[in-house]
Amino acid sequence: MAKPILDILAFRTRLAAILSIMAVALILYRLFDLQVAEPVVEPEVSEQRLTREMPWVPRRGLILDRNHRQLVRNDDRVTLKVELHRIQDRVAIA
């Protein structure tokens, strides 16, 4: 009676090991393919793969003291960021 249970456990262990080895091999192949076989040479291609980060500033309530006087004022401000590597003709802009 214990023999079938041991056979099932051995089969499941072998199956899990084989699937794990296949998954690791697939990941290693994909890493090799991305970095060695087809490296990104064109800057335009790598530029398209960048992720854009859109910061979101939450609106905060007023900060008051115990006498309900305003301690901090919240002002909306615009932040401008210039990425110099994207500017083609810097002399014309200056």
* Cβ atoms 71, 65 nearer than 8 A: yes
Q: Give the residue among 93, 83, 81 at the shortest CA–CA distance from 47.
A: 83
Name which residue leads in pLDDT, 91 or 7.
7
Q: How far apart are the first and last CA of the chain?
A: 86
Contacts of 93 (CB under 8 A, 6+ apart): 87
pLDDT tens column, 12-63:
999 999 999 999 999 999 999 888 877 766 666 666 667 667 777 667 777 8
- pTM over 0.85? The answer is no
